[in-house]
Amino acid sequence: MLRLIVSVLLRWDHAHPEVYEYLLKHPRRCSTHLFPARETKLLGLVLLAFLFSEFGLFMLLDRNAEDMRHRTWGMRIMIGFFQAASTRTTGFNCVNLAKLSAAMNVVYMVRTLD
């Protein structure tokens, strides 16, 4: 996200483009949280892979879970994406984790370790 912000500032702020170009060419000299372009893209792909695999497992393993039976498919999809995105980062839940399959709880536990 930080790299995206610097790229947008490079296009919008015409007063100091050399500062943003330097940041993008030498990211680790200025910030420990700014990575080179290749590593940023790789990190984004890995995070997307985790997100979609966790979503897929949620939809597959808990399609008949007690908390999911009465919900529409559109709501199930929204809950699946929310669970995949927020379980690791914030700990929020849309469904009772005790009523989900044991395999999905293991996936959430392993996912929080990375």
- Average pLDDT for the chain: 86
Mean pLDDT of 34-41: 86
- Res. 89: pLDDT tops 80: no
- Res. 36: pLDDT tops 70: yes
Contact between 24 and 2 (Cβ < 8 Å): no
- Res. 114: pLDDT tops 70: no
Q: What is the pLDDT of residue 76?
A: 92
